[in-house]
């Protein structure tokens, strides 16, 4: 069934997501000053990698119920996703975990400065975290592969299953295996030298009790297609050269929004977006 799924944006219900900004970072713009604050409040984070991820997850997050959800951002870093969602969804209780103490300390300071009372950060590794209550939604944005690449993917997905309430939703964005990435050979390669295969993710979901074979709902989608990958490579190529970066940015921005959803499961792409339902509801 999975092979027949089309990679189209998915909504958990009919709620509109128009109140979620098209670019992430506007919630934190108040922490910046001068021109930096104006740029961020107007355009969000300029980094193309962040913009692509938000473009993929925004419709899914916007389709979730606006009240009463417990959401975990696993591998939150300095809290970009956590803080944006906490500011936009005050009726959600949002939790962010990361094993890096400095990142969590920075996230906590930012949350206090923004006056957010619905967000909690905690220093914890994925395999050690033991929350007192389960979550309705679990986000893993470019974080799961660090354990999976060292052979701990089954343990990791087991923790995901334990964290989620029955019927809860896992939204996972992760790198695809290098041989499936449509990278241009004349540009610097992407930094991921390991990634999930389609078979690997399907087996992990099956083994740990996640449902994905639901056309039009849950599924495994190839994302960041050929043009969107080219944009990432151009950004990497010009990193460290302010003038070249500024000159290339219009092309990076235009290409970066093209083909972030690959049309077919078998098409080459740089990443996977897994939308899975925890069994048991």
User: Each residue of 45-60: pLDDT tens digit?
Assistant: 999 999 999 999 998 9
* Partners of 135 in the β-ladder: 164
pTM of the model: 0.91
In this predicted structure, what is the pLDDT of residue 18? 59
Q: CA 167, 173, 178 angle in degrees (round to 5)?
A: 135
- Report the C-alpha gap between 161 and 146 in whole angstroms: 18
The class that CATH gives domain 2-16+49-278 is: alpha beta
pLDDT of residue 30: 87
Alpha helices, DSSP H, located in 26-116: 34-43, 48-62, 80-88, 101-113
Question: Mean pLDDT across the chain, nearest whole number?
Answer: 89
- Alpha-helical regions (H) of 63-144: 80-88, 101-113
For residue 19, pLDDT over 80 is answered with no
Q: What is the pLDDT of residues 147-172, one digit of tens each?
A: 998 999 999 999 999 999 999 999 99
Give residue limits of the domains in the chain: 2-16+49-278
pLDDT in tens, 205-239: 999 999 997 666 688 999 999 999 999 999 999 99
Confidence category of residue 139, pLDDT binned at 50, 70, 90: very high
**Cα 12–chain centre separation:** 16
Residues 6 or more apart whose Cβ sits within 8 Å of residue 67: 91, 92
Rounded CA-CA distance 21/160 in Å is 28
Dihedral of the CA atoms 184, 187, 193, 196 (nearest 10)? -30
């Amino acid at each position: 069934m999975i092979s027949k799924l089309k990679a189209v944006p998915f909504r958990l219900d009919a709620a509109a997501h128009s109140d979620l900004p098209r670019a992430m970072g506007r919630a934190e713009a108040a922490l910046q000053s001068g021109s930096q604050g104006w740029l961020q409040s107007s355009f969000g984070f300029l980094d193309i990698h962040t913009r692509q991820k938000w473009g993929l997850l925004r419709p899914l997050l916007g389709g979730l119920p606006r009240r009463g959800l417990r959401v975990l951002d696993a591998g939150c870093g300095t809290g970009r996703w956590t803080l944006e969602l906490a500011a936009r969804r005050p009726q959600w209780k949002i939790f962010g975990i990361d094993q890096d103490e400095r990142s969590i300390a920075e996230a906590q300071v930012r949350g206090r400065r923004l006056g957010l009372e619905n967000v909690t950060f905690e220093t914890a590794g994925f395999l050690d975290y033991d929350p007192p209550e389960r979550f309705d939604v679990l986000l893993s944005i470019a974080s799961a592969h660090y354990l999976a690449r060292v052979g701990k993917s089954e343990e990791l997905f087991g923790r995901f299953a334990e964290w989620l309430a029955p019927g809860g939703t896992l939204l996972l964005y992760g790198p695809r295996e290098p041989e499936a990435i449509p990278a241009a050979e004349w540009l610097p390669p992407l930094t991921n030298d390991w990634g999930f295969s389609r078979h690997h993710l399907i087996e992990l979901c099956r083994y740990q009790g996640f449902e994905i074979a639901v056309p039009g709902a849950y599924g495994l989608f190839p994302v960041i297609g050929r043009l969107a990958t080219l944009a990432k490579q151009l950004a990497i190529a010009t990193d460290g050269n302010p003038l070249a970066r500024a000159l290339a940015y219009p092309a990076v921005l235009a290409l970066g929004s093209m083909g972030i959803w690959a049309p077919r499961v078998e098409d080459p792409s740089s990443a996977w977006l897994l939308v899975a339902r925890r069994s048991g509801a």
